[in-house]
Structure 1
Amino acid sequence: MAIVRVGFLELWVRDLERSLEFYQGLLGLRLERREGHVAYLRGYEELEWSLKLTQAPFPAVRALGFKVDSEGLEQGLAWARQEGLPHRLESDWGRPEILRLQDPFGYPLAFYFRAEKLPRVLQNYHEYRGPGLLRLDHLNVFSPEVAKATRYYQEALGFRLSEYTEDEEGRLWASWLHRKGNVHDIAFTNGEGPRLHHFAYWLPDAMAILRAADILAGAMRTDQIERGPGRHGISNAMFLYLRDPDGHRVELYTSDYLTVDPDHPPLRWSLSDPRRQTLWGHRTPRSWFLEGSPFLDLEGRPIPTRASGLEGIPEHVI
């Protein structure tokens, strides 16, 4: 399938005003449209909306969106029919045709090509708010079968492996897969799933990460900082993990590296190497390994989860 990059995320939230106060007010995403209980936001580099918030009875994730090329929707339909996947075509604001489907692992995917282009604001620096979020960078999902999902996304959807973690028995615990030529557009993390672990927005530099922490501190909201600031071993990126008012996890992310070479070799990390998660920074909290957001099927029902077959992470690894 001709996937170009990660494109958008749809979240269900319990209180749209509280969510907008967080994403627009504190993080500075641009609110581009508001229709009753629905809001569309984007970063300063983006020409399309990348985050849709819908007020709903409970928090959940409706769709993981990916941009495809001009033939991608036709290819996606053929794939869905061949695999017998639940699917349908829909439209949304600024996107006249979206293919929604549930993949073989239960993830609610959405593919689109055409999108209404919004005004360019990248150099409207006087309009920047918050730490200056530029663009949606990647998605990370919990999976009870990382090896199978990784192989399937490589073979069926054309993702390329950039980094991975395995234990001493050669069992795959996590994988980072990309289409756009940096470390990842999607990652699979061992755990109860399918669930969303986090989504990440790219920031311009490391100082923006620190500025985000200062903003949360100034607003007396440090309880929403779950992890960081720090630097990952995997991806080499600077990070800060936050929890929104509904507990959805968002990462502020910068300074990874290019993987555009077709023969770029995947980097292996040992599960016993503590530098893989944190090259430097504070110890990772247990919530980061255990908590995630539920997914919805095409009818808006929570997708059942399954426990991982790879249990028993040693305490020293966490």
Structure 2
Amino acid sequence: MPIRKANPEPPFNIIRASHVAFDVSDLDRSRAFYVDCLGYLISDADSNAIYLRAVEERNHHSIVLLKADNAAVPVIGFKVSSEEDLDRAAFWFAHKEYPTSFPERPYQGRTLCTCDMFGMPLEFYYRMDQRNCMLRNYAEYKCARIQRIDHINCFTPDVQASFDFCSELGFWLTEYTETDGGNSQLWAVWMHRKGNVHELAFTNGRGPRLHHIGVWTASALDILYICDVMDSSGFVANMERGPGRHGISNAFFLCVRDPDNHRVELFTSDYLTVDPDHEPLRWSLRDPQRQTLWGHQAPASWFEEGSFFSDVRPRQPVLQEQPIVAR
């Protein structure tokens, strides 16, 4: 499998992963999970939507909860560096014959909507309404004390194709998993724009589907504390995996599921990757420490379950290799 360098002059400049929208079946129950349990701040809300941000975030929202009949993910969002980059992005996607449109989005400026080759819904914007950053207002640090969105992890039916697509857009590879043997194949990739381990990750599986969003906490103690909060607030059964430490990314983590089974990873302790000569780290698919440096092995649900993107039919993966899973 070819490992290619990131495009040093991408067609437009993506700054970072910005936000995700979740269709949820019960806004009150979702509010109890994200606000009362995890500690998110509400930027705005009405009977059909709740816009959330974490304490460090100045942008209006990083999670949008939308009332719907069925759980799904309408879109994942990325911030670009200028309005001109939006025009460059629209030109690039249209030239590649991907659909493009500029719908109105609440609290966002001009927003480009498009998708990747598998139909995964993407949106790009430059301006978003601002709210006060609560980083120094410690009274607002509640529950998990989440500071910001960190990354988005997705299932893809073809990791090589998704990797090539994102490399062309300037994403840098930091770590990857591949099969062993003479004809090794990519099984998962972790790629960044902002200078830590990942902005966007792809895992082999039935997809496209959203695997999880990763949200940053300041310390491992925040993650340990939220375990007690989840127990005392009635959400202990929503803890899926962890706490523990990944081999990949070196992150201390806890994975939880919201009331509609959307997965959120609380995450801290990864590392900087800003050097242009940073060499990506290879993991064998058979290495048990790739998924868990210490702690319980990942359950089967970690490799099988994910959130469907709205109106996108997942495909079976081209690679049938399986990692080690908990028994």
Who is 1:214 aligned against?
228
CA distance in 1, matches of 2:203, 2:72: 18
| Aligned pairs for 1:42-121 within 5 A | 42-48=53-59, 49-70=61-82, 71-121=84-134
Letter in 1 for 2:48: H
CA distance in 2, matches of 1:166, 1:258: 23
- 1:136 maps to 2:145: no
- 1:190 maps to 2:189: no
CA distance in 2, matches of 1:272, 1:5: 31
Q: Offset of 1:218 from its aligned partner?
A: 1.6
Q: Which of 285, 291, 314 is 1:277 aligned to? A: 291
CA distance in 2, matches of 1:283, 1:317: 5
1:7 counterpart SS class: strand
CA distance in 1, matches of 2:88, 2:221: 42
Who is 2:29 aligned against?
18
Q: Offset of 1:148 from its aligned partner?
A: 1.2
| Aligned pairs for 1:200-279 within 5 A | 200-279=214-293
Maintained 8 Å contact 1:272/1:317? no
Q: Offset of 1:91 from its aligned partner?
A: 2.7
Aligned identity (percent) is 47
CA distance in 2, matches of 1:160, 1:176: 8
CA distance in 2, matches of 1:96, 1:146: 32
CA distance in 2, matches of 1:125, 1:191: 41
Q: Offset of 1:129 from its aligned partner?
A: 1.5
2:17 counterpart SS class: strand
Q: Offset of 1:221 from its aligned partner?
A: 2.0
Maintained 8 Å contact 1:271/1:317? no
Say if 1:163 and 1:315 are closer, same or farther in 2 by CA, change over 3 A. Answer: closer
CA distance in 2, matches of 1:132, 1:43: 8
Q: Offset of 1:6 from its aligned partner?
A: 0.3
Maintained 8 Å contact 2:242/2:253? yes
Letter in 2 for 1:24: V
CA distance in 2, matches of 1:250, 1:314: 21
Q: Offset of 1:314 from its aligned partner?
A: 5.6
Give the stretch that moved more between structures: 93-102 or 42-51: 93-102
Who is 2:317 aligned against?
308
Q: Offset of 1:43 from its aligned partner?
A: 0.4
Q: Which of 157, 163, 186 is 2:175 aligned to? A: 163
Q: Offset of 1:94 from its aligned partner?
A: 2.1
Who is 2:136 aligned against?
123
| Aligned pairs for 1:35-46 within 5 A | 35-46=46-57
After superposition, the C-alpha distances for 1:68-118 in whole angstroms (9 at most, x for unaligned) are: 011320111111210111121023232121111122121100000011221
2:90 counterpart SS class: helix
Say if 1:317 and 1:264 are closer, same or farther in 2 by CA, change over 3 A. Answer: farther
Who is 1:32 aligned against?
43
Runs of 4+ in 1 over 3 A off after TM superposition: 314-318
CA distance in 2, matches of 1:92, 1:185: 22
Which residues of structure 1 form unaligned runs of 5+? 297-301
Maintained 8 Å contact 1:90/1:96? no
Maintained 8 Å contact 2:300/2:325? no
Which residues of structure 2 form unaligned runs of 5+? 1-11
Give TM-score scaled by structure 2 length: 0.93
Query: How many residue pairs are counted as aligned between the two chains?
Result: 312
1:96 counterpart SS class: coil
CA distance in 2, matches of 1:220, 1:95: 34
CA distance in 2, matches of 1:312, 1:151: 20
Maintained 8 Å contact 2:285/2:323? no
Say if 1:174 and 1:288 are closer, same or farther in 2 by CA, change over 3 A. Answer: same
Maintained 8 Å contact 1:88/1:99? yes
Q: Offset of 1:291 from its aligned partner?
A: 0.3
